[in-house]
Amino acid sequence: AQSVTQPDIHITVSEGASLELRCNYSYGATPYLFWYVQSPGQGLQLLLKYFSGDTLVQGIKGFEAEFKRSQSSFNLRKPSVHWSDAAEYFCAVAAGSSASKIIFGSGTRLSIRP
Protein backbone atom coordinates (compact mmCIF):
# COMPACT_ATOMS: atom_id res chain seq x y z
CA ALA A 1 0.00 0.00 0.00
CA GLN A 2 1.11 3.50 -0.68
CA SER A 3 2.28 5.68 2.18
CA VAL A 4 3.95 8.99 2.83
CA THR A 5 6.37 9.76 5.63
CA GLN A 6 7.30 13.19 6.84
CA PRO A 7 9.93 12.54 9.48
CA ASP A 8 10.01 16.03 10.94
CA ILE A 9 7.03 16.97 13.09
CA HIS A 10 8.16 20.53 13.79
CA ILE A 11 10.92 22.66 12.32
CA THR A 12 12.00 26.17 13.30
CA VAL A 13 14.12 28.28 11.01
CA SER A 14 15.19 31.89 11.10
CA GLU A 15 13.64 34.36 8.73
CA GLY A 16 15.80 34.61 5.63
CA ALA A 17 17.34 31.19 6.14
CA SER A 18 16.94 28.33 3.71
CA LEU A 19 14.42 25.57 4.27
CA GLU A 20 14.16 21.91 3.38
CA LEU A 21 11.21 19.76 4.43
CA ARG A 22 11.60 16.05 3.98
CA CYS A 23 9.15 13.64 2.41
CA ASN A 24 9.53 9.95 1.62
CA TYR A 25 6.94 7.87 -0.14
CA SER A 26 6.24 4.22 -0.65
CA TYR A 27 4.56 3.24 -3.88
CA GLY A 28 5.28 0.54 -6.44
CA ALA A 29 4.85 2.57 -9.58
CA THR A 30 5.77 6.12 -10.50
CA PRO A 31 3.76 8.26 -8.15
CA TYR A 32 2.11 11.58 -8.52
CA LEU A 33 3.49 13.75 -5.72
CA PHE A 34 2.24 16.94 -4.15
CA TRP A 35 3.04 19.48 -1.49
CA TYR A 36 0.24 21.36 0.21
CA VAL A 37 0.35 24.13 2.80
CA GLN A 38 -2.22 24.77 5.52
CA SER A 39 -2.42 27.99 7.47
CA PRO A 40 -4.21 27.93 10.83
CA GLY A 41 -7.96 27.62 10.44
CA GLN A 42 -7.73 27.19 6.71
CA GLY A 43 -7.99 24.43 4.16
CA LEU A 44 -5.04 23.04 2.28
CA GLN A 45 -3.55 24.93 -0.64
CA LEU A 46 -1.54 23.27 -3.39
CA LEU A 47 2.08 24.46 -3.52
CA LEU A 48 3.37 22.26 -6.32
CA LYS A 49 3.04 18.86 -7.94
CA TYR A 50 5.12 16.31 -9.81
CA PHE A 51 3.59 14.03 -12.41
CA SER A 52 6.46 13.32 -14.81
CA GLY A 53 9.31 14.98 -16.68
CA ASP A 54 11.72 17.35 -15.01
CA THR A 55 12.39 16.12 -11.50
CA LEU A 56 12.79 19.65 -10.15
CA VAL A 57 9.42 21.34 -9.98
CA GLN A 58 8.67 24.93 -9.19
CA GLY A 59 5.66 25.99 -7.17
CA ILE A 60 4.00 29.05 -5.81
CA LYS A 61 5.44 31.33 -3.15
CA GLY A 62 9.02 30.57 -4.19
CA PHE A 63 8.94 26.89 -3.25
CA GLU A 64 10.47 24.06 -5.23
CA ALA A 65 10.72 20.31 -4.79
CA GLU A 66 12.92 17.62 -6.25
CA PHE A 67 11.77 14.09 -7.05
CA LYS A 68 14.50 11.52 -6.42
CA ARG A 69 13.35 8.08 -7.43
CA SER A 70 16.43 6.35 -6.02
CA GLN A 71 15.69 7.76 -2.59
CA SER A 72 11.89 7.66 -2.84
CA SER A 73 11.94 11.27 -1.79
CA PHE A 74 10.23 14.49 -2.73
CA ASN A 75 11.74 17.16 -0.49
CA LEU A 76 10.42 20.71 -0.44
CA ARG A 77 12.85 23.63 -0.48
CA LYS A 78 12.88 27.37 -0.30
CA PRO A 79 16.08 29.45 -0.44
CA SER A 80 14.90 32.18 1.93
CA VAL A 81 11.86 31.87 4.18
CA HIS A 82 9.56 34.70 5.17
CA TRP A 83 7.58 35.01 8.39
CA SER A 84 4.42 34.39 6.36
CA ASP A 85 5.66 30.88 5.51
CA ALA A 86 4.86 29.71 9.03
CA ALA A 87 2.25 26.99 8.51
CA GLU A 88 1.74 23.24 8.31
CA TYR A 89 3.12 21.52 5.24
CA PHE A 90 1.82 18.24 3.87
CA CYS A 91 3.35 15.92 1.35
CA ALA A 92 0.95 13.67 -0.55
CA VAL A 93 1.03 10.83 -3.05
CA ALA A 94 -1.67 9.94 -5.56
CA ALA A 95 -2.08 6.27 -6.16
CA GLY A 96 -4.73 3.81 -7.20
CA SER A 97 -5.80 2.68 -10.62
CA SER A 98 -6.37 6.21 -11.86
CA ALA A 99 -4.03 7.92 -9.42
CA SER A 100 -7.12 9.29 -7.74
CA LYS A 101 -6.59 8.09 -4.18
CA ILE A 102 -4.51 10.79 -2.54
CA ILE A 103 -2.77 9.93 0.70
CA PHE A 104 -1.23 12.60 2.92
CA GLY A 105 1.72 12.52 5.24
CA SER A 106 1.38 13.55 8.86
CA GLY A 107 2.59 17.06 8.18
CA THR A 108 5.48 19.24 9.27
CA ARG A 109 4.80 22.37 11.24
CA LEU A 110 7.10 25.21 10.27
CA SER A 111 7.83 28.04 12.69
CA ILE A 112 9.82 31.10 11.73
CA ARG A 113 12.23 32.73 14.16
CA PRO A 114 12.37 36.54 13.78
Partner 1 sequence: DAGVIQSPRHEVTEMGQEVTLRCKPISGHDYLFWYRQTMMRGLELLIYFNNNVPIDDSGMPEDRFSAKMPNASFSTLKIQPSEPRDSAVYFCASSSGGNTIYFGEGSWLTVV
43, 52, 53, 114: which one binds partner 1 (CB under 8 A)? 43
Which residue(s) pair with 56 in the sheet? 66
Query: Using the rule CB under 8 A, is 45 a contact of partner 1?
Result: yes
Among 14-22, 41-49, 53-61, 66-74, the segment contacting partner 1 (CB under 8 A): 41-49
Three-state DSSP class for residue 85: helix
Start-to-end CA distance of the chain, whole Å, equals 41
d(CA 107, CA 4): 10
29, 40, 53, 98: which one binds partner 1 (CB under 8 A)? 98
d(CA 11, CA 88): 10
61, 68, 101, 113: which one binds partner 1 (CB under 8 A)? 101
57, 85, 107, 112: which one binds partner 1 (CB under 8 A)? 107
Q: What is the DSSP letter of 100?
A: -
Among 17-25, 58-66, 72-80, 101-109, the segment contacting partner 1 (CB under 8 A): 101-109
Query: Using the rule CB under 8 A, is 64 a contact of partner 1?
Result: no
d(CA 52, CA 79): 24
Query: Using the rule CB under 8 A, is 110 a contact of partner 1?
Result: no
